Amino acid sequence: MATRAASAQSSQADTAVAVREAVGFAAGQLGAAPTVGFLFTSARHELGLALEAAMLQAPGCQWLACQTAGEFTERGQTSGGVAVLLTTLPPGSFEIAGASGVRSDPAGVAQKLTVAFPALKARAAKFGAGLSTTVLLVDGLAGTGERLVKEVLNHTRLYQQVVGGASGDDGKFSATEVGTNQFAGTDGAVALHVFGQQAWGVGVDHGLAARTPPMTVTRAEGNVLYEIDQKPALEVYRAYARTRGVELTAENTLRFLIGNELGVYFLKEVARARAPVGVGPSGELKLVADITQGSQVCILDGEPDAMVAACQRAAEQALAHLQGAKAAGVLVFDCICRGMILQDAFGREIDAVRRVFPDVPVAGFLTYGEIARFRGKLDGWHNTTAVVVAIPA
């Protein structure tokens, strides 16, 4: 049977009411019992309560869930709401797992998330389903997302596709939650492993441009950036902000940092972005993922038209990777920074995806980091990037 999908959203204030409304509407559109659901909620909704409501509304459905910095479907974006995508992935073709402790032990968490992968792979092989994808949701403030992606690859297989995003908390950068039917909380990660005869389509693009000359990371440890060109990292940003007519203060610094992320070069190309989400007492910056000492970097900025065009290119890439198959549904993992830059015009990105996937249900959220690791794309962890994932019918 072909996979189906249906999306819905709700802006109801009460968590249980909002989830029941969204899940109920999507289930009605689906026309079949859902097997896997994606639940994206504002941080004002306690994720455990949202999952309880979702499980009651759709008994037997397995859930992959997280809090967001904004959630959306093809119908538009909500702030403080709920978005869902229900699917009918074939029973036996998938496994879902969750674990806590990702901040201190990403390798151990990856092992727990993939413990059922070998058996799933063997089971799928009997039906000729040899193509696989992992959807990964991780605490957006853990700082270990890139290492987690690498460890998941180590415990699955060389060319495993890994996609997903880092959870958010409506831009507060205080605490974020992820969850499944069995687990919900902070400092965690959850994964869906799915096999099929058709690969899921994946696309990624950012549309950002360097606004400074290349600089060198002269001191960094893990995801903490201390110095750029032997100057405190924050001072480098202060100097750049002044060229933009902005004087950084305690009130505006974090927003400016998030809106002007750090670009990391591979050879002469900006290969990835890193979002600063905190400032230390000595002017060091906490990033959402590791950065290597000695890296060449720049400060990035995005123009709205270029960012919308990049989102459409990501959608076109995802469609091309379906290799002629139809899409049942589309997931979009899009950075909070892009939402901050586009503001009320963020709907243009949703429209860009819809131009490529007309009449296909879409659901996604604004993230604190995006995941897209697939054949031909060696970088797994991204910021200020649009990741589009097409689920084959």
Complete edge-to-edge strand list for the sheet that includes strand 94-100: 94-100, 188-196, 131-138, 161-166, 370-373, 381-382
Residue 301 — pLDDT band, cuts 50, 70, 90? confident
pLDDT of residue 72: 97
Section 372-387 average pLDDT: 80
State the pLDDT at residue 1: 66
The stretches of 212-252 forming alpha helices (DSSP H) are: 233-243
Q: How far apart are CA 172 and CA 277, in angstroms?
A: 10
pLDDT for 290 equals 83
Span 215-226, pLDDT tens digits: 999 999 988 999
What pLDDT does 377 receive? 64
The 8-class DSSP code of residue 343 comes to G
pLDDT tens digit sequence for 164-194: 999 999 989 899 999 999 999 999 999 999 9
- Give pLDDT tens digits for 266-289: 888 887 888 888 899 999 999 877
Question: Where residue 90 falls among pLDDT bands split at 50, 70, 90?
Answer: very high
Would you state the pLDDT for residue 228?
A: 97
pLDDT at 295: 94
| pLDDT for res 208 | 83
User: Of the segments 69-73, 297-301, 384-388, which one has the largest average pLDDT value?
Assistant: 69-73
What mean pLDDT, rounded, does the chain reach? 93
Residue 7 has φ and ψ, to the nearest 5°, of -120, 160
pLDDT number for residue 88: 98
Question: Does the pLDDT value for residue 206 go beyond 90?
Answer: no
| Amino acid 207: pLDDT | 84
**What's the pLDDT at 378?**
59
Is the pLDDT assigned to residue 298 strictly greater than 70? yes
Residue 297 CA to residue 276 CA, distance in Å, equals: 13
Instruction: State the Cα–Cα distance between residues 333 and 389, nearest whole angstrom.
Output: 8
Q: Which of 139-143, 186-190, 302-306 has the lowest mean pLDDT?
A: 302-306
Please tell me the predicted confidence (pLDDT) of residue 270: 82
- Would you say residue 322 has pLDDT above 90? yes
Q: Which pLDDT belongs to residue 303?
A: 83
* pLDDT per residue as tens digits for the range 58-79: 999 999 999 999 999 999 998 8
Q: Please state, for a pLDDT cut of 90, what percent of the chain lies above it.
A: 77
Q: Angle at Cα 139 formed by Cα 137 and Cα 141, nearest 5°?
A: 140
pLDDT at 149: 93
Instruction: State both tokens at 225.
Output: 């950036």
pTM (2 d.p.): 0.89
Cα-Cα-Cα-Cα torsion 370, 241, 229, 233, nearest 10 degrees, comes to: -60
Give the type of residue at 286: K
Q: What is the pLDDT of residue 374?
A: 84
Burial class (CB in 10 A: 0-12, 13-18, 19+), 347: middle
**pLDDT of 33 strictly over 70:** yes
Q: What are the extents of the domains in the chain?
A: 5-205+307-392, 208-302
Indicate whether 229 pLDDT > 90: yes
pLDDT exceeding 70 applies to what percent of the chain?
99
Q: Is the pLDDT of residue 150 over 80?
A: yes
When pLDDT is cut at 50, 70 and 90, the band that residue 231 belongs to is very high
What number is the average pLDDT over the span 359-376?
A: 92
